[in-house]
Chains A and B, each alone.
Chain A
Amino acid sequence: MAEVRVTVDGVNYADEVEPRMLLVQYLRERLGKTGTLIGCDTSNCGACTVHLNGQSVKSCSVLAVQADGGEVLTIEGLARDGQLHPVQAAFNECHGLQCGYCTPGMIMAAVDLLGDNPDPDEGEVREGIEGNLCRCTGYQNIVRSVQRAAQMMKPGASAPTETPAPVAGD
């Protein structure tokens, strides 16, 4: 067993884990963070994408112990103070999801993409989310969502017109 101390969605944890335990398993099985999903076993699908120390990572490709001392942000911690993150709101507004299974990873990847490139063109969005697979949408509305989020995140941009979906507990 190995010890891991990690902050996940703003809460500090200290746990004993098997050294082989993946970060995604730790999140789901130990912390109950089942919003982060598993879609494959070869690190291709990206459904498990979270942020580790501010960078998007596929949490199936990171051992829990590698996150020791780090800060993890999952889809469940993305909305703040009862307000959806603009990327979440944009996915809702632009119908960027259907079954929703790729969505948490897709949103986390998109947030990271927009951090690197606040105003991506269509091709840059498509290249930027290439590591996240979706089988429902044909990606068109995901691309629209990411570009819409970029607009919404521009300094001085107004809030989305549609009332965003409420966040749990608010």
Chain B
Amino acid sequence: MTATADTTALEFGKARVRKEDARLITGRTRYTDAITPPGTLHVAVVRSPLAHARITGIDTAEAKRAPGVHGVYTVSDLGADEVGMPCAWPITPDQKAPQRPVLAKDTVHFAGEGVAVVVARSAAEAKDAADLVEVDYDPLDPVLDMEAALAEGATLVHPDLGTNESATWVFDSGEAGTGGSVADAIAAAEADPDQVVVRRRFRQQRLVPAFMEPRSCVVDPTGEQIVIWSATQVPHILRTMTTVTLGIPESKLRVIAPDVGGGFGGKIGVLPEEMMTVLLARKLGRPVKWTETRSECMLTAHHGRDQIQDLTITAKKDGTITGLDVRLLADMGAYLGLVGPGVPVLGAFMFNAIYKIPAYRFQTTNVFTTKTLTDAYRGAGRPEATFGVERIIDELAVELGREPLELREQNWIKHEEFPFTTVCGLTYDSGNYEQATARAKELFDYDALRREQAERRERGDKVQLGIGISTFTEMCGLAPSRVLGSLAYGAGGWEAASIRMLATGKVEVITGASAHGQGHETAFSQIVADKLGVPFEDVEILHGDTASSPKGLDTYGSRSLVVGGIAITMAADKVIEKAKKIAAHLLEADEADIEFSAGQFTVRGTDKGKAIQEIAFAAFMAHDYPEGMEPSLDSDAVYDPENFSFPHGTHLAAMEVDTETGRVNLRHYVCVDDIGNVVNPLIAEGQVHGGLAQGIAQALFEEANYDDQGTLVNGTFVDYTLPSAADLPSFTTEIVSTPATSNPLGVKGVGEAGTIASTPAIVNGVLDAVRHLGVADIQMPTTSQRVWRAIQEAQGRSTQETPIDTHSPGAGLGSIDPNNPQGEVQ
């Protein structure tokens, strides 16, 4: 038997097409709504049209008489008066956390909150009957503006809390001993003519995650275990939280996340609708299904971002940064989501980014309003931080009259300085900002574009060119459990894996990560194929079902590969260790003389050997195996990372702005990302593309707009302007690799990079195009109207007010023209 390893055959690094595609391109998929056990009843939720109101009466009589209706229930009818939805992240010991009910009882706190629920034979009958439920409301004042909400005498979202402030969380490098005092740095800068102080306010608008598959949940209570299918990112967390919330023993619950149509953080929550569906299924003793409409999704699935950022940066006139102060207001919405309060806190460690900042202070004040709650959305805290720092670095460059890329380079951590402990106390293990930047400049033809920009400016071209820069880093691989513990997060950050070697030599890999588009089945198969020396096709990845993968912490925070992938690697190492003992026994050799390579166990210095498949079969037969050993190769591992990983990259955007119309055109986008070693370049590139699209959409297109009554006015796909293919160009993306030293695969994570980096690159580029006209800032999204208005105002011309800057007011079905909210014909 030969054991020559063909290095060209390595799976790691190969652009494999995805194995999960086979079912997805042929329609053989099973998204949750396709699952309909016999006898399934359907749920429709009656939702509040008002943002803030007392419920004075609910009349369900007519709905109950409607055809096909099995029942109409309020929260009391469900026996759920005391049930509160979980928040797993008390960021401070005295964080104010109102009880979020399954259905509103006395008061509704945001438009879209559930008030009653109808169960009927068909979804159509349920919806028909839901329209017959009469709810009487006594309107209360909405609470919409964060600063007004914190002012004395403000209307309280939850009067029993006595305040609209949920919590204030502070990090101060002076107090933590990781750096100097920023108050001292600011005082010193103000007193020193050779230093500058730049203060800016930025706004992170509210966004809708807008995964393509609306949320759905099916509960079958008829077996010994209650089976919950849910369109969730977090089946394991959902199981535990269902126990915590409803008191059903965890052992009586099986949660399945079948094919899941995207998440982006938007499916990280544990939903009132999920708990409601469990309660209804148990009450009725039949399978029950809830599937939302897109409009319900826009209105009630958690939103993302929504921060006001007050930043102060100080620097010497030679460009050396001396301090950064960050004060955030973060809109929680009406209640706290599962990890919502911690989202701004995740940003606390990233405002210092790739820069050597000697003094740093971060403060977030989390505020309640009568809006849809906010929680994780792709990047969760880190896009907000990256936007803030990359915007203010550009502002500092303007103040100092410096080339913005040079100013960055002057302050960033040099590649020879790694590992580097930041002012937040995180240790960046590796990176090479010079390499990524040099390559990005080359691909972008940076100098030529700067020349074109100057030339256009000189001749007063109506279309001006701006160059946007973002040199970002992020912390990925959430997360070392001890760090999470120190932040009072309600769980660990480990991931679990198991490997089963089947009798025929095929391999089942069980992971606690739960894919919803990331390509885990392919990437994990590649890792295992290399580790065990088996064919890629022989590896099956099992996930998303607590019956087959009982232990896990699911998928978010770019953790699947960096944490879950390492757990799989460790389980594979254990399989090899066990197999080595059996191989030594069968080959009548000393275990120390057994070598393993490319799936072959060989005795050093001989041609004797056995393939791993033969060992698996021998273990299965169990006729002949070593004393004191169990006849099995199967192995489990749980990996708890020691540190985060820190991907980084340089993103450059060429933005054209028509100064007469305000129209913004993304002409060219280049990014070079350092994501460490790459398992599958095809998948990694796809993650970057998608991330870019979402980050660019924040900069240019998207915003969840509320009117002065607290109504979401663009809660459909007609007027919430998700970019289409025609709205985006092709991107130039490249990957460079400085391997992570914090894990054995050298991987860093890629899921969020594009989103985190791209938003400030675009906005910096738009501003760079019009700064010479006197424009200092434009809020996101930088729509034509806003850009035009900013130019007009900078030129001292007056513009007409419009109440809300929706992107395409009055465009069609379901949309509201802010100038004509009642829709009168004019």
Contacts and interface: CB of A to CB of B under 8 A. Distances in A.
A91 B25 contact: yes
Contacts of A41: 293-295, 716
B470 to A, nearest CB: 17
A135 B26 contact: no
Given A99-B211, A99-B517, A130-B724, A76 B25 contact: no
Interface in A116-170: 122, 125-127, 129-143, 162, 165-168
Contacts of A130: 724-726
Contacts of A136: 212, 262, 517, 686, 690
Most buried by B among A42, A75, A98, A142: A98
Contacts of B619: none
B213 A101 contact: yes
A76 B27 contact: yes
B692 A134 contact: no
Nearest to B212: A101
A85 B41 CA distance: 37
A80 B213 CA distance: 27
A168 B26 contact: yes
A43 B717 CA distance: 8
Nearest to B812: A42
Contacts of A103: 24-25
A98 B523 CA distance: 13
A57 interface: no
Interface string A15-27: 0001011000100
B376 interface: no
Interface stretch (B14-22, B454-462, B763-771, B789-797): B14-22
B31 interface: yes
B212 A134 contact: yes
Contacts of B18: 92, 95
Chain A interface main SS type: loop
A135 B212 contact: yes
Contacts of A115: none
Nearest to A107: B25
B690 A95 contact: no
A168 B26 CA distance: 8
B136 to A, nearest CB: 27
A137 B690 contact: yes
A37 interface: yes
A169 B813 CA distance: 41
A150 to B, nearest CB: 15
A38 interface: yes
Contacts of B24: 97, 100, 103
B622 interface: no
Given A40-B294, A107-B25, A138 B693 contact: yes
B814 interface: yes
Interface in B691-707: 691-694
Given A35-B29, A45-B212, A135 B689 contact: no
Contact of B686 (A122, A132, A137): A137
Given A41-B716, A42-B813, A95-B17, A75 B26 contact: yes
B591 interface: no
B33 interface: yes
Contacts of A47: 212
A112 interface: no
Contacts of A29: 122
A54 interface: no
Given A97-B21, A104-B27, A168-B28, A139 B728 contact: yes
B14 to A, nearest CB: 12
A59 interface: no
Contacts of B745: none
Interface residues on A, range: 35 or more
B27 A35 contact: yes
A82 B685 CA distance: 30
A45 B691 CA distance: 19
Given A38-B214, A135-B211, A141-B686, A165 B27 contact: no
Interface residues on B, range: 35 or more
A69 interface: no
B823 to A, nearest CB: 16
Nearest to B209: A135
Contact of B693 (A92, A127, A139, A143): A139
Contact of B17 (A20, A143, A162): A162
A158 B416 CA distance: 50
Contacts of A76: 26-28
A97 B17 contact: no
A63 interface: no
Contacts of B724: 126, 129-133, 139
Contacts of B122: 29
A76 B28 CA distance: 7
A76 B212 CA distance: 20
Interface in B269-305: 293-295
A102 interface: yes
A37 B22 contact: no
Nearest to A142: B725
Contacts of A45: 212, 294, 717
A39 interface: yes
Nearest to B266: A135
B469 interface: no
A114 interface: no
A135 B294 contact: no
Given A41-B716, A45-B212, A140 B27 contact: no
Given A138-B731, A140-B689, A37 B717 contact: no
A135 B264 contact: yes
A56 interface: no
Given A41-B295, A135-B694, A136-B262, A165 B726 contact: no
Contacts of B693: 135, 137-139
Given A74-B27, A126-B725, A39 B212 contact: yes
Contacts of A93: 17
B361 interface: no
Given A41-B294, A165-B22, A99 B717 contact: no
A88 B25 contact: yes
Contacts of A62: none
Interface string B211-225: 111100000000000
A37 B295 contact: no
B97 interface: no
Interface string B1-45: 000000000000000011111111111111101100000000000
Interface string B724-740: 11101011000000000
A76 B687 CA distance: 27
Contacts of B686: 95, 98, 136-137, 141
B642 to A, nearest CB: 30
Nearest to B722: A133
A100 B24 CA distance: 5
B683 interface: yes
B84 interface: no
A79 B689 contact: no
A29 B42 CA distance: 13
Contacts of A100: 20-21, 23-25, 29, 259, 261, 517
Interface in A1-51: 18, 20-21, 25, 28-29, 33-45, 47
Given A100-B20, A141-B685, 20 more contacts: A37-B261, A39-B213, A39-B261, A45-B212, A75-B26, A75-B27, A78-B26, A98-B687, A100-B21, A100-B517, A101-B262, A127-B725, A130-B725, A134-B212, A135-B694, A138-B692, A138-B694, A139-B724, A140-B731, A166-B22
The 6 closest A-B pairs by CB, nearest first: A35-B27, A99-B517, A101-B261, A100-B24, A165-B22, A138-B693
16 contacts: A34-B27, A42-B814, A76-B28, A79-B26, A91-B21, A98-B519, A99-B211, A99-B212, A100-B20, A100-B29, A100-B517, A104-B27, A135-B694, A138-B692, A165-B22, A168-B28
Interface of B: 17-31, 33-34, 122, 124, 210-214, 259-262, 264, 293-295, 516-519, 682-683, 685-687, 689-694, 716-718, 722, 724-726, 728, 730-731, 754, 812-814
